[in-house]
Amino acid sequence: MAKEKQNLRALSDAERQHMLMEKTEDMFRYRLQFATGQLGQNHLLRETRREIARLKTLIRESQLKKDGQQTESK
């Protein structure tokens, strides 16, 4: 998990946003498959949900960092 965090932190904001959209689409598909009984790997729901949360956290951190730098420079 530590390597995964480092890899996510190394991404640019645009790459994180793109990855978030992909994971959100994956989550939609997994939920649909789960509801119809076609999802054989139920752990994918949990993993994807956590990956989405990690990405949202990193995106928010970078936003706060940018906002803080703008406030300090005024």
The pLDDT of residue 21 is above 60: yes
- Looking at residue 2, what is its pLDDT? 64
Domain limits for position 19:
11-69
pTM, two decimals, is 0.83
2 lies in some domain: no
1 lies in some domain: no
1 falls in which pLDDT band (50, 70, 90)? low
Domain count, the chain: 1
Here the contacts of 17-25 (C-beta below 8 Å, separation 24 or greater) are 17/59, 19/55, 20/52, 20/55, 20/56, 20/59, 23/48, 23/51, 23/52, 23/55, 24/52
Q: What average pLDDT does this structure show over 11-24? A: 94
Query: Over the stretch 36-67, which tens digit does the pLDDT of each residue have?
Result: 999 999 999 999 999 999 999 999 999 999 88
User: CATH code at 47?
Assistant: 1.10.287
